[in-house]
Chains A and B, each alone.
Chain A
Amino acid sequence: MNERAIDVRGLNKSFGDRHVVRDVSIAVDTGRITGFLGPNGSGKTTTLRLLCGLLTPDSGEGTVLGLDFRARGDAIKRQTGYMTQKFSLYEDMTLEENLAFVARVHGLEQRRERVEDTLHRLGLFDRRRQLAGALSGGWKQRLALAAATLHEPRLLLLDEPTAGVDPKARREFWDEIHTLAAGGLTVLVSTHYMDEAERCHDIGYILYGRLIARGTADSIIRDSGLVTFLGEGPGIDRAAHLLAQADGVLSASAFGAAVHVSGVKREALEAALAPWRKEPFRWSEVPPSLEDVFIQLMGRERDERYTS
């Protein structure tokens, strides 16, 4: 039994002259939930599609579920659940009909029982006769999860599963994901939400097609070397605006009534803050949030692009 559900190296994919995924190497241990973060268009969806065989990589090698992922795409597909970013089940079919179709196409035994179990498990049973197109966002997402997990895959790939879903539905969705992972399912999920990133066991941050940070949320924050100050007081948001331009400040952004000001060099950051250390402002050092780190990562990558 392979300990690693995913172990691929040197993944590349171009569309025309757009190099969307560059030398991505990623290893995911069995039973882990890995969050995939990165700005829009950074290559998250493409990476997921490469891993589940929906796209053919230009180069790269390795294993998914212990199988050579380039040669055994069909076998991997059978054991992988994939939930697309856009709802992609049949809107003109009922929930039950959609799931029955998925069950049949996967050649499942005891189809009726499994469909019913899944409907119950995800709280969809009462709505089983509704057309999928008539569901609201949260229910659609639940149905999509039901369809992606019906065949009891060993690997689950979720592409921004909670976009446009209310907080309660999101929480329930994540509880379900954790239950599945506890049962040994490996999950790779792309998201834009920092709170969701923190719900993952570990994180990969992808930018301009490169995987630039990998590890647990804590380790990524620790390794960033980032220093963050929290500023409070009336008019602090205007101060943040000016601070953002100052030398030594990588980012200064509002968090409600407070601002986070971050930089990599403590002295430079202190120097920049000095003029603002006066009434009515109060400053205190805080651990950087994941978002601060990602904003720093984005800035760093951009700098590298300009200097190269």
Chain B
Amino acid sequence: MRGSLPRILAVLLKEFTQLRRDRITYAMILVMPVMQLLIFGYAINMDPRHLPAAVLSHDTSTLANSVVSALERTGYVDVRYLPRSDEELDQLIRRGQVLLGITIPPDFTRRVLKGERAQILAEADASDPQAAAGALAAVSVLPTEALRNERVGLGMPRSTAPPFEVVVHRRYNPESRSPFNIVPGLLGIILSMTLVMMTAMAVTRERERGTMETLLSTPATPVEIMVGKLTPYVVVGLIQTVVVLVMARGLFSVPMARTAAGWLALACGIVLFIVGNLSLGYLISTVARSQLQAMQMSMFYMLPSIFLSGFAFPFLGLPPWARVLGEIIPVTHFLRIVRGALLKEQVLADMGNDLLALGLFVLAVAGAALARSRTTLD
């Protein structure tokens, strides 16, 4: 053992020397954990508050208003919209603008005063059961808490049964089955992870092996090289998508799109998302000096894709600054598209913003990758 100590030291010193040479790797080893800790530490909240809600009130009495203010007082939801019709409310929920929709019927006040069974309807978007649970927690306390003071004022006895009840609808996923949310989400994560990493290696590998010199001495232009390199991976991405969807249906009974329009919307989202990921990988590969760096950068991209996209935690439960970061990440938009198409019967019109965001991402990232591609070795 004594004899091997100098040799261990030799190898150890050599590793440190090489680590020091590789500045970027070194920087990433130090900077990555700090950034991740700061971002995710502050962004992730297991008990999301201020979830967006909409109230459709057919009853304009003070009693109904008290219910709404009691709802807001819980801190779990913010009433952001006051739709005028059932259709408007329905669209807000379907497009994911609110997690909770409250409908107060016209005879609410009358029934409460008469002591009849008054009801309000709470519809939660249960495509993400975790987020829906947060919103419904706020609703569950309403019957006992909402009208406490009013009842005293109206001379109603304090101890009787709650003056109204809440009818809860868990829409899009009535049984709150986690796979309905996780499995479509996994499609986004799997596509990102494999496609970004695979293409990130693509150019870096050519440079590392020296084949880039041959490629550049041919008449092929940067656009030709990029399109030629990425197209096979589009096929890989499509095969992955089919495999995941078949398994989602077969093993987890995840609902599929029910109309041709739904499938079309989904297909648009998938193609844009695949191309976006490939472009990002390509951009990484033009920046990274080695395959190791390309790998690190891909990993660096994956963590926010999991934590800030709405995959692991409800997107609407993130603090506003984290949602801004999340909006930049393609997975965020893809999750809305895939969950929308599979669970919420969304069509193209419902996902315009997310498709647009993905399209812009593709243009910006592919443009940057091309701008960084050279026809020379300078």
Any chain B CB within 8 A of the CB of A259?
Answer: no
Residue with the highest number of chain A CB atoms closer than 10 Å, among B214, B215, B220, B376: B214
Q: Which of A65-98 contact B (CB under 8 A)?
A: 73-74, 77-78, 80, 82, 84, 86-91
Nearest-neighbor residue (CB-CB) of B228 within chain A: A105
Nearest-neighbor residue (CB-CB) of B377 within chain A: A54
Any chain A CB within 8 A of the CB of B145?
Answer: no
Q: Mark A133-163, 1 if CB is under 8 A from B, else 0.
A: 0000000000000010000000000000000
Check B376 against A89 for contact (C-beta < 8 Å). no
Check B378 against A52 for contact (C-beta < 8 Å). no
Interface size class on chain B is 10 to 19
Any chain A CB within 8 A of the CB of B160?
Answer: no
**16 residue pairs from A and B, CB less than 8 Å apart:** A52-B217, A53-B217, A54-B377, A55-B376, A55-B377, A56-B376, A73-B375, A74-B219, A88-B209, A88-B212, A88-B214, A105-B215, A105-B218, A105-B220, A106-B219, A147-B214
Any chain A CB within 8 A of the CB of B211?
Answer: yes
Q: Which residues of B contact A282 (CB under 8 A)?
A: none
Q: Which of B192-223 contact A (CB under 8 A)?
A: 209-220
Q: Which residues of B contact A4 (CB under 8 A)?
A: none
Any chain B CB within 8 A of the CB of A102?
Answer: yes
Query: How many angstroms between the C-alpha atoms of A194 and B10 in the bound complex?
Result: 41
Evaluate whether A54 and B218 lie within 8 angstroms (CB atoms) in the complex, with A88-B210, A88-B211, A91-B209 already known. no
Check B214 against A54 for contact (C-beta < 8 Å). no
Residue with the highest number of chain A CB atoms closer than 10 Å, among B209, B218, B376: B218
Contacts from B to A (Cβ < 8 Å): 209-220, 375-378
Q: Which residues of A contact B375 (CB under 8 A)?
A: 53, 73
Query: How many angstroms between the C-alpha atoms of A56 and B378 in the bound complex?
Result: 7
A292 to chain B, nearest CB (A): 35
Q: Which residues of B contact A201 (CB under 8 A)?
A: none
Contact of A53 among B210, B211, B215, B376 (CB under 8 A): B376
Check B211 against A90 for contact (C-beta < 8 Å). yes
Check B217 against A102 for contact (C-beta < 8 Å). no
Any chain B CB within 8 A of the CB of A214?
Answer: no
Query: How many angstroms between the C-alpha atoms of A147 and B214 in the bound complex?
Result: 10
Query: How many angstroms between the C-alpha atoms of A77 and B216 in the bound complex?
Result: 9
Query: How many angstroms between the C-alpha atoms of A174 and B275 in the bound complex?
Result: 48
A237 to chain B, nearest CB (A): 38
Query: How many angstroms between the C-alpha atoms of A49 and B374 in the bound complex?
Result: 14
Q: Which residues of A contact B218 (CB under 8 A)?
A: 77, 102, 105-106
Q: Which residues of B contact A84 (CB under 8 A)?
A: 210, 213-214, 217
Contact of B213 among A53, A88, A102 (CB under 8 A): A88
Evaluate whether A89 and B219 lie within 8 angstroms (CB atoms) in the complex, with A49-B377, A55-B376, A55-B378 already known. no
Q: Which residues of B contact A56 (CB under 8 A)?
A: 376, 378
Q: Which residues of A contact B210 (CB under 8 A)?
A: 84, 86-88
Nearest-neighbor residue (CB-CB) of B212 within chain A: A88
Q: Which residues of B contact A82 (CB under 8 A)?
A: 214, 217
Residue with the highest number of chain A CB atoms closer than 10 Å, among B209, B217, B219, B378: B217
Q: Which residues of A contact B209 (CB under 8 A)?
A: 88, 91
Evaluate whether A77 and B211 lie within 8 angstroms (CB atoms) in the complex, with A53-B376, A56-B376 already known. no
Q: Which residues of A contact B376 (CB under 8 A)?
A: 53-56
Q: Which residues of A contact B378 (CB under 8 A)?
A: 55-56
B341 to chain A, nearest CB (A): 39
Q: Which residues of B contact A90 (CB under 8 A)?
A: 211
